[in-house]
Structure 1
Amino acid sequence: MAPAPHSLAVAAAHDRSWVSVARRSAPHVARVTASAMLVRRELTVNDTQKVTLGVIAAYIVVIALLWNIPYIRYVLWPFKMLVIAFHEFGHALACVLTGGRVKSISLDPNEGGVTHMQGGKNAFTLPAGYLGSSLIGALLTFAGFNIVASKIASIVVGVTFLFTLWWGRKDWLTILTVLLAVGLLIGCWFISHAEALRYVVLFIGVMSSLYSVWDICDDLILRKINSSDASVFAKRYGGSSQCWGVIWSIFSLTFMAASIVAGIAAFPQSAEQQRNDSSQFIPTKF
């Protein structure tokens, strides 16, 4: 039997009241939902990440001191050569990607390096040394927030070194630097499920991220060397070497800051969780 007209009117009024309530409450619900999403996305730092940030700060201070203290600064020499290898790899990779050919890479005992290239686009190959090593450093710093990520990063670095070793196979210092670096990374895999690897990767990342800043300061401000990548770039494309050096340094610092923020956001696991995860990913323990 069809409902009475009066019943239909009451039902319609009831439905309109619900629609009215829903319309009034919709903005409130939207605000609550948006607030909840913002709370969930808020960047918080747990105890493990605080330790990592403290280690990064300590690395920066120690490296800055050792970089400038006579004689003691030679403690950093092996890592400087490692970062220079990253620098030269950046030149080489940019050369290959822009249609050139890499003839050889060589490292100098006096903390220098050179990449012999044929072809390629100088607008890309010249800044690629500093920017490439800074980007590699930022990625390693990011990976240094997590043990499993450090394992993956060490594998990528090992492959990178194989290319560097191929291009620098005629230079004994390049070979020795690469082999020692690979040996250090492999050895750290076997210490407490690679927990030590995380701090080594983090150290290399921090030093590589800041190397361009310190090196540019040494070359263009303190010693004023006219044969740096920045000076050559300035001669070809205008501007001053100091200007380009500052710009590249800003990029380097930006890369590093972004890697730290990304590391905090991506790896909220506690130290115990990281060890458990690492024990399941290519497990090793010494």
Structure 2
Amino acid sequence: MQTASGAKLDKGRVALLLVFLGLGWFFWDSPLLRPVKLLVVMMHESGHAIASLIVGGSVDKITLKADESGACFSMLPPGVLRQVIVFSAGYLGSAVMGAVLLLATFRFRLRRLVLGAACVWLAVMGLLYARDMFTLAFCLGTSVVLGLAAKFLPEGAVEVVNLFLAAFTALYALFDFRSDLWDSRVRDISDAALLSQQTWVPAIIWAVIWTLMGVSLLGWAAYKSMHADPRSPQMRMPPLSSARRS
């Protein structure tokens, strides 16, 4: 398959993406995936924190819990627009991170830099905003793991790790939209409900807006990432046998 610009579909990337999506779906409730789920929860809360700082507010703390819940406590200046930006930055933040992982790894070939940036991000967020031992231990421990992976894994294995993280982040973001925004019992206590109290726009409308934006962004990023850019040297995913040996 080829786009109008000449970019060709990379079947190896598509196959691995589908495999990781399938594994994530099948083993969704496995405790082995809990650290990755907590990583995406941290992306969600980091989205709130970064947005709070951008609009001129301050962040008191970020907390994660073993049950995969999290919270960002921040102070914001008055203003409806600021509220909209900060409350929207949670669910959309994890979708943005999934898109960034895909594009940075496969469109812009920033393979080790992706894991290195994630390592620094977790360490900074943990040291600045973690106020409990669980959150701090998770942030620093995961930061060390990602840093070691960035430095010592073979190039092909780095790509596989990045694709797995991107696929799972995207899947978790989609599940978040479904469970938090489209289950009326959960939506009533979600960010959408909190924002509806500030704007008088019903929570279901915010659910529609965030879902459309998140799904569109992830779909666009996946499409771009799964096509090789004809203007740059061809980059192919390693064979599955090679990935296993890594």
TM-score interval w.r.t. the shorter chain? 0.7 to 0.9
Structure 2: distance between partners of 1:245 and 1:156: 30
Structure 1's unaligned 5+ residue stretches are 1-37, 274-285
Equivalent AA in structure 2 for residue 160 of structure 1? W
DSSP 3-state at the match of 2:106: coil
Offset of residue 165 of structure 1:
1.0
**Contact 1:141–1:201 at 8 Å: present in 2 too?**
yes
Partner of 1:137: 98
Q: Sort the Cα spacing of 1:40 and 1:200 in 2 relative to 1 into closer, same or farther, 3 A.
A: same
Offset of residue 40 of structure 1:
8.0
**Contact 1:95–1:101 at 8 Å: present in 2 too?**
yes
Question: Which of 31, 36, 42 does residue 85 from structure 1 map onto?
Answer: 42
Q: Sort the Cα spacing of 1:39 and 1:203 in 2 relative to 1 into closer, same or farther, 3 A.
A: closer
Q: Sort the Cα spacing of 1:156 and 1:252 in 2 relative to 1 into closer, same or farther, 3 A.
A: same
Offset of residue 125 of structure 1:
0.5
Q: Sort the Cα spacing of 1:252 and 1:174 in 2 relative to 1 into closer, same or farther, 3 A.
A: same
Partner of 1:101: 58
Partner of 2:119: 158
Equivalent AA in structure 2 for residue 110 of structure 1? D
Question: Which of 157, 160, 184 does residue 196 from structure 1 map onto?
Answer: 157
Larger CA Rg, structure 1 vs 2: 1
Matched pairs, number: 229
**Contact 2:107–2:228 at 8 Å: present in 1 too?**
no
Identify the structure with the greater helix proportion: 1
Structure 2: distance between partners of 1:239 and 1:122: 12
Does structure 1 residue 269 correspond to structure 2 residue 234? yes
**Contact 1:147–1:195 at 8 Å: present in 2 too?**
no
Offset of residue 228 of structure 1:
0.8
Per-residue CA deviations over 1:1-22 (Å, capped at 9, x if unaligned) read xxxxxxxxxxxxxxxxxxxxxx
Structure 2: distance between partners of 1:199 and 1:241: 37
Structure 2: distance between partners of 1:184 and 1:51: 26
**Contact 1:141–1:202 at 8 Å: present in 2 too?**
yes
DSSP 3-state at the match of 1:102: strand
Between the aligned residues of both structures, percent identity stands at 24
TM-score, normalised on structure 1? Answer: 0.71
Per-residue CA deviations over 1:31-50 (Å, capped at 9, x if unaligned) read xxxxxxx99822212xxx21
Question: Which of 214, 217, 241 does residue 255 from structure 1 map onto?
Answer: 217
Matches within 5 A, 1:56-135: 56-67=17-28, 72-120=29-77, 121-135=82-96
Offset of residue 222 of structure 1:
4.1
Structure 2: distance between partners of 1:136 and 1:152: 14
TM-score, normalised on structure 2? Answer: 0.82
Q: Which is worse superposed, 96-105 or 111-120?
A: 111-120
DSSP 3-state at the match of 2:56: coil
**Contact 1:107–1:114 at 8 Å: present in 2 too?**
yes
Structure 2: distance between partners of 1:61 and 1:223: 27
The root-mean-square deviation of aligned C-alpha atoms, in Å, is 2.6
Post-superposition, which runs of at least 4 consecutive aligned residues in structure 1 deviate over 6 A?
A: none
Structure 2's unaligned 5+ residue stretches are 239-245
